[in-house]
């Protein structure tokens, strides 16, 4: 991180050298085509102006309901999707606009673990080849060397050596997710974006995979962006948590502070909605009315105001910005 980047992306937020990833005003819109000439008639504002950073070795959790843009954010950071606007700074370098060879180089350092372990592994490929492919892609290693490396990776994620010669269908969901993790580790990346890595798994298997991810984080000094909709899983895994709603970051804070004292009405509703695994705990539940509005025509002002019980007149007029209301606790709400 000694390199001083020429792109100084923001004067107000001094880029701290310990940050591995810095996101500034990131926007990703999907065009909506329509009409006779298939012109762009609108935009799905999947990610609408989010900013955050992740320190080295830290896990940032990203939570929100389906359709809130958390996966799109993850994919945009990996540059699997083209950002519409904003900056992505990775390891001291602005990677928003890089392409070709330099993008390929950056891809080595950031990897993804996908949600569906059934769809993210090629059914026609041997597991050994699946895991070796990223290494093969970036280095000129001999077959024997590759095999040793893959065997080592299999061992690290807790799979037997003979898994090398098997195919994806021979494994259970949890084991497949381990294969996906081994593949993402193959190039020793600095950042792993895990997009709902356990939501397709049973609780008992889910806990195995979560433990594994934690162990690997220590061993390889990984930085995680952990995307999930399950708040208890996110709390278990993360150091800090960002809450997204309709493409916007509504609150971001240290996990203890966020769960002990959620400030945004949406976060409060989200946390109160989690069923507690204790029948003696009787919670005051905030039940949200209605559904998440369409990101094509997001509501004016605060995106949450039509469902918010605390909405004021101001909320429909101006969009609140994310501001620090307590040390390391930022919230985008007019109440604060």
Q: Applying CB under 8 A, which residues contact other proteins?
A: 65-66, 172, 174, 202-208, 210-211, 214, 229-233, 235-236, 259, 269-281, 285, 287-288, 290-292
- Which residue's CB is nearer to other proteins, number 108 or number 229? 229
- Which residue's CB is nearer to other proteins, number 81 or number 286? 286
The nearest distance, CB 200 to other proteins, in angstroms, is 10
The nearest distance, CB 233 to other proteins, in angstroms, is 6
- Which residue's CB is nearer to other proteins, number 83 or number 174? 174
Q: Which residues pair with 34 in a beta bridge?
A: 39
Residue whose token pair is 């350092």: 109
End-to-end CA distance of the chain: 36
The nearest distance, CB 65 to other proteins, in angstroms, is 4
- Which residue's CB is nearer to other proteins, number 66 or number 142? 66
The nearest distance, CB 158 to other proteins, in angstroms, is 10
- Which residue's CB is nearer to other proteins, number 19 or number 59? 59
The nearest distance, CB 183 to other proteins, in angstroms, is 21
Task: Give the contacts of 223 (CB within 8 A, at least 6 positions apart).
Answer: 20, 21, 54, 55, 56, 57, 58, 59, 190, 191, 192
> What are the residue ranges of helices labelled H in the chain?
70-77, 100-107, 127-138, 143-156, 173-185, 203-220, 231-237, 255-260, 265-272, 313-317
Task: Give the contacts of 163 (CB within 8 A, at least 6 positions apart).
Answer: 127, 128, 154, 171, 175, 179
């Amino acid at each position: 991180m000694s390199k001083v980047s020429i792109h100084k992306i923001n004067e107000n937020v001094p880029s701290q050298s310990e940050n591995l990833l810095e996101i500034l005003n990131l926007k990703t819109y999907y065009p909506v085509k329509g009409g006779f000439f298939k012109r762009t008639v609108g935009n799905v504002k999947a990610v609408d102006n989010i900013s955050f950073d992740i320190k080295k070795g830290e896990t940032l959790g990203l939570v929100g309901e389906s359709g809130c843009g958390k996966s799109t954010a993850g994919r945009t950071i990996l540059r699997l999707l083209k950002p519409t606007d904003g900056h992505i700074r990775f390891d001291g370098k602005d990677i928003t606009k890089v392409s070709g060879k330099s993008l390929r180089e950056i891809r080595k350092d950031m990897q993804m673990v996908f949600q569906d372990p059934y769809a993210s592994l090629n059914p026609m490929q041997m597991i050994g080849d699946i895991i070796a492919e990223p290494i093969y892609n970036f280095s000129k290693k001999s077959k024997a060397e590759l095999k040793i490396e893959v065997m080592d990776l299999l061992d690290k994620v807790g799979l037997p050596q003979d898994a090398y010669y098997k195919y994806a269908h021979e494994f259970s969901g949890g084991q497949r997710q381990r294969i996906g993790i081994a593949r993402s580790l193959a190039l020793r990346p600095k950042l792993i974006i895990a997009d709902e890595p356990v939501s397709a798994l049973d609780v008992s298997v889910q806990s195995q995979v979560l433990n594994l991810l934690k162990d690997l984080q220590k061993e390889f000094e990984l930085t995680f962006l952990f995307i999930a909709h399950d708040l208890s899983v996110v709390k278990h895994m993360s150091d800090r948590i960002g809450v997204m709603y309709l493409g916007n970051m509504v609150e971001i804070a240290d996990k203890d502070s966020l769960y002990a004292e959620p400030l945004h009405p949406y976060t409060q509703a989200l946390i109160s909605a989690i069923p507690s695994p204790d029948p003696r705990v009787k919670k005051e539940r905030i039940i949200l009315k209605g559904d998440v509005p369409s990101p094509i025509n997001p509501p004016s002002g605060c995106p949450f105001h039509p469902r918010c019980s605390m909405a004021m007149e101001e909320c429909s007029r101006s969009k609140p910005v994310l501001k620090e209301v307590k040390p390391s606790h930022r919230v985008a709400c007019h109440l604060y």
